[in-house]
Structure 1
Amino acid sequence: MVEDINADQIPEIVENNQVVFVDCHAVWCQPCRTLGPMLEEIHEKYNSKGLRVVKLDVDKNREFSTKNQITGVPSVLVYANGQRVVFDDGNGNKMDRLVGVMPMEVYDTIANELLGEAS
Protein backbone atom coordinates (compact mmCIF):
# COMPACT_ATOMS: atom_id res chain seq x y z
CA MET A 1 0.00 0.00 0.00
CA VAL A 2 1.26 3.47 -0.91
CA GLU A 3 1.87 5.50 2.24
CA ASP A 4 1.15 9.21 2.73
CA ILE A 5 4.27 10.85 4.12
CA ASN A 6 5.59 14.22 5.25
CA ALA A 7 8.59 15.86 3.58
CA ASP A 8 10.83 15.21 6.58
CA GLN A 9 10.49 11.46 5.98
CA ILE A 10 11.88 11.57 2.43
CA PRO A 11 15.64 11.40 3.23
CA GLU A 12 15.25 8.22 5.29
CA ILE A 13 12.95 6.58 2.75
CA VAL A 14 15.34 7.42 -0.11
CA GLU A 15 18.29 6.10 1.90
CA ASN A 16 16.58 2.81 2.75
CA ASN A 17 15.17 1.88 -0.68
CA GLN A 18 16.85 1.25 -4.05
CA VAL A 19 14.25 3.20 -6.01
CA VAL A 20 11.62 5.63 -4.71
CA PHE A 21 8.77 7.32 -6.56
CA VAL A 22 7.44 10.35 -4.63
CA ASP A 23 3.95 11.22 -5.86
CA CYS A 24 3.52 14.94 -5.17
CA HIS A 25 -0.24 15.40 -5.21
CA ALA A 26 -3.14 17.49 -3.92
CA VAL A 27 -6.51 16.29 -2.66
CA TRP A 28 -8.34 18.70 -4.99
CA CYS A 29 -6.46 17.49 -8.10
CA GLN A 30 -8.51 15.26 -10.41
CA PRO A 31 -5.51 13.92 -12.42
CA CYS A 32 -3.91 12.99 -9.08
CA ARG A 33 -6.88 10.71 -8.43
CA THR A 34 -6.22 9.02 -11.75
CA LEU A 35 -2.51 8.58 -11.05
CA GLY A 36 -2.97 7.22 -7.52
CA PRO A 37 -4.23 3.73 -8.49
CA MET A 38 -1.59 3.49 -11.24
CA LEU A 39 1.23 4.13 -8.78
CA GLU A 40 -0.41 1.74 -6.31
CA GLU A 41 -0.11 -0.92 -9.02
CA ILE A 42 3.56 -0.01 -9.62
CA HIS A 43 4.20 -0.23 -5.88
CA GLU A 44 2.59 -3.68 -5.65
CA LYS A 45 4.42 -4.93 -8.74
CA TYR A 46 7.92 -3.73 -7.82
CA ASN A 47 7.98 -3.37 -4.02
CA SER A 48 9.53 -6.78 -3.47
CA LYS A 49 12.27 -5.84 -5.98
CA GLY A 50 13.29 -2.69 -4.10
CA LEU A 51 10.93 0.05 -5.30
CA ARG A 52 8.80 2.08 -2.93
CA VAL A 53 6.07 4.54 -3.88
CA VAL A 54 5.01 7.23 -1.39
CA LYS A 55 2.56 10.13 -1.60
CA LEU A 56 3.26 13.69 -0.49
CA ASP A 57 0.44 16.25 -0.21
CA VAL A 58 1.88 19.49 -1.64
CA ASP A 59 -0.58 21.63 0.31
CA LYS A 60 0.56 20.13 3.63
CA ASN A 61 4.24 20.31 2.63
CA ARG A 62 4.54 23.78 1.12
CA GLU A 63 8.18 24.32 2.05
CA PHE A 64 9.20 21.12 0.24
CA SER A 65 7.01 22.06 -2.74
CA THR A 66 8.57 25.51 -3.00
CA LYS A 67 12.13 24.25 -2.53
CA ASN A 68 11.63 21.59 -5.24
CA GLN A 69 9.67 23.93 -7.54
CA ILE A 70 6.60 21.71 -7.64
CA THR A 71 4.37 23.97 -9.72
CA GLY A 72 2.10 21.34 -11.23
CA VAL A 73 0.43 18.27 -9.82
CA PRO A 74 0.68 15.43 -10.05
CA SER A 75 4.47 15.45 -10.17
CA VAL A 76 6.48 12.31 -9.54
CA LEU A 77 10.02 12.70 -8.24
CA VAL A 78 12.17 9.63 -8.78
CA TYR A 79 15.16 8.64 -6.65
CA ALA A 80 17.59 5.78 -7.27
CA ASN A 81 20.54 4.78 -5.12
CA GLY A 82 19.96 7.81 -2.90
CA GLN A 83 20.02 10.37 -5.73
CA ARG A 84 17.31 12.25 -7.63
CA VAL A 85 17.01 10.89 -11.17
CA VAL A 86 17.24 13.27 -14.14
CA PHE A 87 15.56 12.14 -17.35
CA ASP A 88 16.11 13.04 -20.99
CA ASP A 89 12.76 13.88 -22.58
CA GLY A 90 13.86 12.53 -25.96
CA ASN A 91 14.41 16.05 -27.34
CA GLY A 92 17.65 16.69 -25.50
CA ASN A 93 15.95 18.43 -22.58
CA LYS A 94 16.68 17.32 -19.03
CA MET A 95 13.86 16.97 -16.51
CA ASP A 96 13.94 15.89 -12.89
CA ARG A 97 10.28 14.95 -12.52
CA LEU A 98 7.34 13.47 -14.37
CA VAL A 99 4.51 16.01 -14.49
CA GLY A 100 0.97 14.90 -15.19
CA VAL A 101 -0.37 11.41 -15.73
CA MET A 102 1.91 9.38 -17.99
CA PRO A 103 0.98 6.10 -19.69
CA MET A 104 1.51 3.12 -17.37
CA GLU A 105 4.34 1.91 -19.63
CA VAL A 106 6.41 4.97 -18.67
CA TYR A 107 6.34 4.07 -14.96
CA ASP A 108 7.00 0.39 -15.75
CA THR A 109 9.97 1.25 -17.96
CA ILE A 110 11.51 3.58 -15.39
CA ALA A 111 11.05 1.02 -12.62
CA ASN A 112 12.59 -1.79 -14.70
CA GLU A 113 15.54 0.29 -15.86
CA LEU A 114 16.36 1.69 -12.43
CA LEU A 115 15.93 -1.59 -10.59
CA GLY A 116 18.13 -3.24 -13.19
CA GLU A 117 20.81 -0.59 -12.59
CA ALA A 118 20.37 -0.76 -8.82
CA SER A 119 20.77 -4.53 -8.53
Structure 2
Amino acid sequence: MKTYSFVLFSSSLFVLSAVIGCAGGTSAILDQESPRGYDSAQEQNAVVKQDVASEPAAMPTVGQTTYIEPSETLVGSMTTPQPPTPSLIDLPASSDLDEAIATASGTIILDFYADWCGPCRSQGKILRDLESTAAQKQALIVKVNVDQHPELAEQLQVSALPTLMVVKNGQLVHRQTGMASKKDLVNWMQ
Protein backbone atom coordinates (compact mmCIF):
# COMPACT_ATOMS: atom_id res chain seq x y z
CA MET A 1 0.00 0.00 0.00
CA LYS A 2 2.87 2.36 0.79
CA THR A 3 4.40 1.75 -2.66
CA TYR A 4 1.05 2.41 -4.32
CA SER A 5 0.64 5.65 -2.36
CA PHE A 6 4.15 6.76 -3.33
CA VAL A 7 3.49 5.99 -7.01
CA LEU A 8 0.20 7.89 -6.86
CA PHE A 9 1.90 10.82 -5.09
CA SER A 10 4.79 10.85 -7.60
CA SER A 11 2.36 10.73 -10.53
CA SER A 12 0.41 13.65 -9.04
CA LEU A 13 3.63 15.67 -8.72
CA PHE A 14 4.56 14.92 -12.32
CA VAL A 15 1.15 16.04 -13.58
CA LEU A 16 1.28 19.14 -11.38
CA SER A 17 4.75 20.01 -12.63
CA ALA A 18 3.64 19.59 -16.24
CA VAL A 19 0.62 21.82 -15.69
CA ILE A 20 2.61 24.65 -14.10
CA GLY A 21 5.38 24.48 -16.63
CA CYS A 22 8.15 22.57 -14.87
CA ALA A 23 8.75 20.38 -17.90
CA GLY A 24 9.81 23.37 -20.02
CA GLY A 25 13.31 24.07 -18.69
CA THR A 26 12.76 23.78 -14.95
CA SER A 27 12.95 20.78 -12.68
CA ALA A 28 11.05 19.38 -9.74
CA ILE A 29 12.66 16.91 -7.32
CA LEU A 30 11.73 15.38 -4.03
CA ASP A 31 13.92 16.69 -1.23
CA GLN A 32 13.32 13.85 1.22
CA GLU A 33 14.12 10.26 0.35
CA SER A 34 13.94 7.19 2.52
CA PRO A 35 15.74 3.97 1.68
CA ARG A 36 12.82 1.91 3.04
CA GLY A 37 9.93 3.84 1.46
CA TYR A 38 7.64 6.61 2.67
CA ASP A 39 5.13 6.78 5.44
CA SER A 40 2.07 9.00 5.01
CA ALA A 41 3.53 11.89 7.08
CA GLN A 42 6.68 12.00 4.95
CA GLU A 43 4.63 11.84 1.75
CA GLN A 44 2.51 14.78 2.85
CA ASN A 45 5.52 16.83 3.93
CA ALA A 46 7.78 16.15 0.93
CA VAL A 47 9.41 19.33 -0.33
CA VAL A 48 9.20 20.23 -3.98
CA LYS A 49 12.03 22.47 -5.16
CA GLN A 50 11.70 24.66 -8.21
CA ASP A 51 14.71 25.80 -10.18
CA VAL A 52 13.26 28.92 -11.81
CA ALA A 53 15.89 31.22 -13.30
CA SER A 54 13.44 33.94 -14.33
CA GLU A 55 11.97 34.38 -10.84
CA PRO A 56 14.78 34.81 -8.29
CA ALA A 57 12.44 36.11 -5.56
CA ALA A 58 11.58 33.72 -2.72
CA MET A 59 8.36 31.82 -3.13
CA PRO A 60 5.80 31.73 -0.32
CA THR A 61 5.93 28.48 1.65
CA VAL A 62 3.65 26.75 4.10
CA GLY A 63 5.13 24.02 6.26
CA GLN A 64 7.63 22.15 4.13
CA THR A 65 5.74 22.39 0.83
CA THR A 66 6.63 25.12 -1.67
CA TYR A 67 3.69 26.63 -3.49
CA ILE A 68 4.03 28.43 -6.80
CA GLU A 69 1.79 31.35 -7.65
CA PRO A 70 0.20 31.07 -11.10
CA SER A 71 2.12 33.00 -13.72
CA GLU A 72 0.22 35.86 -15.31
CA THR A 73 1.74 34.86 -18.63
CA LEU A 74 0.31 31.35 -18.31
CA VAL A 75 -3.09 32.59 -17.25
CA GLY A 76 -3.09 35.36 -19.85
CA SER A 77 -2.25 32.96 -22.64
CA MET A 78 -5.09 30.57 -21.85
CA THR A 79 -8.01 30.80 -24.23
CA THR A 80 -11.46 29.33 -24.14
CA PRO A 81 -11.51 26.29 -26.42
CA GLN A 82 -13.86 26.68 -29.34
CA PRO A 83 -16.07 23.72 -30.26
CA PRO A 84 -15.04 22.17 -33.55
CA THR A 85 -17.15 23.04 -36.56
CA PRO A 86 -19.32 20.04 -37.38
CA SER A 87 -18.60 18.30 -40.65
CA LEU A 88 -22.00 16.60 -40.83
CA ILE A 89 -25.26 18.29 -39.99
CA ASP A 90 -28.93 17.38 -40.23
CA LEU A 91 -30.82 20.38 -41.58
CA PRO A 92 -33.49 21.16 -38.96
CA ALA A 93 -37.09 21.43 -40.14
CA SER A 94 -37.29 25.20 -39.64
CA SER A 95 -33.84 26.00 -41.08
CA ASP A 96 -32.86 27.45 -44.39
CA LEU A 97 -30.24 25.59 -46.45
CA ASP A 98 -28.50 28.82 -47.46
CA GLU A 99 -27.99 29.78 -43.80
CA ALA A 100 -26.69 26.30 -42.93
CA ILE A 101 -24.03 26.33 -45.63
CA ALA A 102 -23.15 30.05 -45.55
CA THR A 103 -20.03 29.50 -43.42
CA ALA A 104 -18.80 26.41 -45.26
CA SER A 105 -15.47 26.99 -46.96
CA GLY A 106 -14.88 23.68 -48.73
CA THR A 107 -16.90 21.11 -50.61
CA ILE A 108 -20.53 20.62 -49.58
CA ILE A 109 -22.29 17.30 -50.05
CA LEU A 110 -26.09 17.45 -49.85
CA ASP A 111 -27.87 14.20 -49.01
CA PHE A 112 -31.59 14.29 -49.72
CA TYR A 113 -33.24 11.44 -47.84
CA ALA A 114 -36.36 10.27 -46.00
CA ASP A 115 -36.60 8.24 -42.81
CA TRP A 116 -38.84 5.64 -44.50
CA CYS A 117 -36.31 5.02 -47.32
CA GLY A 118 -34.15 1.89 -46.79
CA PRO A 119 -31.32 2.89 -49.18
CA CYS A 120 -31.32 6.35 -47.56
CA ARG A 121 -30.60 4.78 -44.15
CA SER A 122 -27.69 2.81 -45.67
CA GLN A 123 -26.37 5.96 -47.37
CA GLY A 124 -26.71 7.87 -44.10
CA LYS A 125 -24.57 5.26 -42.30
CA ILE A 126 -21.85 5.61 -44.94
CA LEU A 127 -21.94 9.40 -44.62
CA ARG A 128 -21.71 9.25 -40.81
CA ASP A 129 -18.72 6.89 -41.14
CA LEU A 130 -17.03 9.55 -43.30
CA GLU A 131 -17.62 12.40 -40.86
CA SER A 132 -13.98 12.48 -39.65
CA THR A 133 -12.72 12.30 -43.25
CA ALA A 134 -14.95 15.25 -44.14
CA ALA A 135 -13.52 17.20 -41.21
CA GLN A 136 -9.96 16.49 -42.38
CA LYS A 137 -10.81 17.61 -45.91
CA GLN A 138 -12.78 20.64 -44.64
CA ALA A 139 -15.92 19.36 -46.33
CA LEU A 140 -19.45 19.70 -45.04
CA ILE A 141 -22.12 17.01 -45.33
CA VAL A 142 -25.69 18.28 -45.03
CA LYS A 143 -28.49 15.76 -44.63
CA VAL A 144 -31.83 17.13 -45.87
CA ASN A 145 -35.01 15.25 -44.94
CA VAL A 146 -37.39 15.74 -47.88
CA ASP A 147 -40.43 15.22 -45.63
CA GLN A 148 -39.34 18.25 -43.57
CA HIS A 149 -38.22 20.30 -46.63
CA PRO A 150 -40.61 19.48 -49.49
CA GLU A 151 -40.25 22.93 -51.09
CA LEU A 152 -36.46 22.61 -51.21
CA ALA A 153 -36.70 19.10 -52.71
CA GLU A 154 -39.12 20.41 -55.34
CA GLN A 155 -36.97 23.47 -56.08
CA LEU A 156 -33.90 21.25 -56.63
CA GLN A 157 -35.95 18.68 -58.59
CA VAL A 158 -35.32 15.78 -56.22
CA SER A 159 -37.64 13.04 -57.48
CA ALA A 160 -35.92 9.88 -56.22
CA LEU A 161 -34.10 9.02 -53.01
CA PRO A 162 -31.38 9.13 -51.99
CA THR A 163 -30.16 12.03 -54.11
CA LEU A 164 -26.67 13.42 -53.52
CA MET A 165 -25.42 16.77 -54.76
CA VAL A 166 -21.89 18.17 -54.59
CA VAL A 167 -21.45 21.93 -54.36
CA LYS A 168 -18.05 23.62 -54.77
CA ASN A 169 -17.54 27.38 -54.71
CA GLY A 170 -21.31 27.86 -54.77
CA GLN A 171 -21.74 25.82 -57.96
CA LEU A 172 -23.41 22.42 -58.33
CA VAL A 173 -20.66 20.21 -59.78
CA HIS A 174 -22.15 16.72 -59.38
CA ARG A 175 -25.54 15.13 -58.87
CA GLN A 176 -26.33 11.46 -58.32
CA THR A 177 -29.54 9.61 -57.66
CA GLY A 178 -29.05 6.38 -55.75
CA MET A 179 -26.38 5.35 -53.28
CA ALA A 180 -22.76 6.45 -53.56
CA SER A 181 -19.80 4.41 -52.33
CA LYS A 182 -17.34 5.59 -49.70
CA LYS A 183 -14.67 5.86 -52.41
CA ASP A 184 -16.85 8.13 -54.55
CA LEU A 185 -17.79 10.30 -51.59
CA VAL A 186 -14.14 10.75 -50.57
CA ASN A 187 -13.24 11.67 -54.17
CA TRP A 188 -16.04 14.25 -54.20
CA MET A 189 -14.57 15.87 -51.08
CA GLN A 190 -11.30 16.69 -52.89
Same fold (TM over 0.5): yes
2:134 to 46, 52, 56: 46
* Aligned partners of 1:77 and 1:84 also within 8 Å: yes
* Cα deviation 1:56-91 (Å, max 9, x = unaligned): 1101111111111100000112111222224xxxxx
Over the aligned positions, Cα root-mean-square deviation in angstroms equals 1.8
Any idea what SS the aligned residue of 2:159 has? coil
Any idea what SS the aligned residue of 2:130 has? helix
Query: Counterpart in 1 of 2:171?
Result: 83
Where does structure 1 lack aligned partners over 5 or more consecutive residues? Answer: 87-96, 113-119
* Cα deviation 1:82-111 (Å, max 9, x = unaligned): 22224xxxxxxxxxx111112221111111
Provide the C-alpha distance between the structure 2 equivalents of 1:27 and 1:82, rounded to a whole number of angstroms: 28
Structure with the larger helix share: 1
* Aligned partners of 2:91 and 2:100 also within 8 Å: no
Q: Which has the larger radius of gyration?
A: 2
Provide the C-alpha distance between the structure 2 equivalents of 1:6 and 1:80, rounded to a whole number of angstroms: 22
Bigger relative contact order, structure 1 or 2 (CA pairs below 8 A, ≥6 apart): 1
Any idea what SS the aligned residue of 1:40 has? helix
Q: Which amino acid aligns with 1:59?
A: D
Query: Counterpart in 1 of 2:99?
Result: 12
* Aligned partners of 2:137 and 2:189 also within 8 Å: no
TM-score norm. by structure 1 comes to 0.75
* Aligned partners of 2:134 and 2:141 also within 8 Å: no
Going from structure 1 to structure 2, the CA distance change for 1:53 and 1:19 (only over 3 Å counts) comes to same
Structure with the larger strand share: 1
Any idea what SS the aligned residue of 1:85 has? strand
1:102 to 180, 185, 189: 180
Q: Which amino acid aligns with 1:3?
A: I
Percent identity at matched positions?
26
2:145 to 57, 62, 68: 57
